[in-house]
Amino acid sequence: MVASTIGYRSEGAEPQLHRGLPSPYLTLIFSFDGPVIGGESPEHARGRDAYREEIVVGGLHQRPMYILQPARECGVQLAVHPMAARALFGAPASELTRMSEAGALLGRPAVELHERMRELSGWDERFGLLTSYLRRRAEDQGRRAEVRPEVAEAWTWMARHRGAGSLDGMARHVALSRRQLTTLFRRETGTSPKQISRLMRFERARREVTVTVAGGAPPDLSRIAARCGYYDHSHLVRDFRQYTGLSPSGWIGEERRNIQAGGHRNGED
């Protein structure tokens, strides 16, 4: 149900505006040093009506979110499988906004968990509390958390093909028409299987770019595009512009420090 759990802490960094990129996963954040402040544009994030939450649940989205990163921050961030949204959040992924109000969604137990984790100084203890909390939520939801098997299997098929399989092939695999599959998928996740496939393919390409940059070498975008199932180099550049708002070189320049610090790991290794 959880793809990765990351504890983060930084002090003395220069405050900056960070782009929270779309991914095939939902986001759950417990911030221990004040609220996460963000918005759907740089102006929104810096304005009076910016989102301000100490516990954040983020739904699937197709454009970057903009997060104000302060000089000091500490917290835990999880990448949650959308098929586990009912079990862990009590609602399908389709009902989650880009930054949902987690207090109303998760209730008092999540607030108490947040307070207890903030009082602790060790990551092992924090992760232990968090794991117990998530297991209790999943057990409490029981059969109410079940997802239609065709939708769950379609997701597994997409993940196995790393976002490069066809919608026709996916629909045949789960014995549904393209229209039926798309309708069920939107009802559960809030987006179409085609959009999720694109996110999975982009996630793989972005990961290859960051691994190369972290190793100190310039990424060969043409080779990465071919390896990840893109038609050509320009196709990859188009997805980069949609999901980051920048060209690949522009995004690398903006995120190089974060990449080199390991800030783009998401649990695959």
Domain ranges, ordered by start, for the chain: 2-145, 149-192, 195-260
What integer pLDDT is reported at residue 30 of this predicted model? 96
| Helices 193-214, 178-189: inter-axial angle, 10-degree rounding | 60
Q: How far is the CA of 50 from the CAs of 27, 41, 76, 90, 132, in angstroms?
A: 18, 10, 21, 26, 32
Fold of 195-260: Arc Repressor Mutant, subunit A (1.10.10)
pLDDT at 140 over 70: yes
Task: Record the tokens describing residue 204, joined without a space.
Answer: 């793989």
pLDDT at 160 over 90: yes
Query: For the domain with range 2-145, which CATH number is right: 1.10.3470, 2.60.120, 3.40.50, 2.60.40?
Result: 2.60.120
pLDDT at 265 over 70: no
What integer pLDDT is reported at residue 143 of this predicted model? 79
Mean pLDDT of 243-250: 93
Condensed to tens digits (0 to 9), the pLDDT of residues 7-65 reads 999 898 888 898 999 999 999 999 999 999 999 999 999 999 999 999 999 999 999 99
Q: Measure the N-to-C terminal CA separation of the chain; round to a whole number of Å.
A: 17
Task: Record the tokens describing residue 215, joined without a space.
Answer: 């190793």
Q: How far is the CA of 31 from the CAs of 23, 43, 209, 218, 265, in angstroms?
A: 20, 22, 28, 34, 18
Task: Record the tokens describing residue 42, joined without a space.
Answer: 């740089």
Task: Record the tokens describing residue 43, joined without a space.
Answer: 């102006």
Give me the architecture of the 149-192 domain, per CATH. Orthogonal Bundle (1.10)
Do the first three CATH levels of 149-192 and 195-260 match, i.e. the same topology?
yes
Beta bridge partners of 58: 27
List of residues 6+ apart from 151 with CB closer than 8 A: 83, 181, 184, 185, 188, 189
Nearest to 18 by CA among 44, 38, 3: 38
Beta bridge partners of 74: 9
Confidence of residue 266 (pLDDT cuts 50, 70, 90): low
Condensed to tens digits (0 to 9), the pLDDT of residues 200-223 reads 999 999 999 999 999 888 999 999
Confidence of residue 269 (pLDDT cuts 50, 70, 90): very low
Condensed to tens digits (0 to 9), the pLDDT of residues 91-127 reads 999 999 877 767 678 889 999 999 999 999 899 999 9
What integer pLDDT is reported at residue 255 of this predicted model? 84
Residues 21, 68 contacting (CB under 8 angstroms): no
Strand intervals (E) in 91-165: 100-101
Q: Strand, helix or coil at 174? A: coil
Query: pLDDT > 90: what percent of the chain?
Result: 79
What integer pLDDT is reported at residue 263 of this predicted model? 60
Mean pLDDT of 182-187: 96
3-state secondary structure 205-229: HHHHHHHHHHCCCCCCHHHHHHHCC
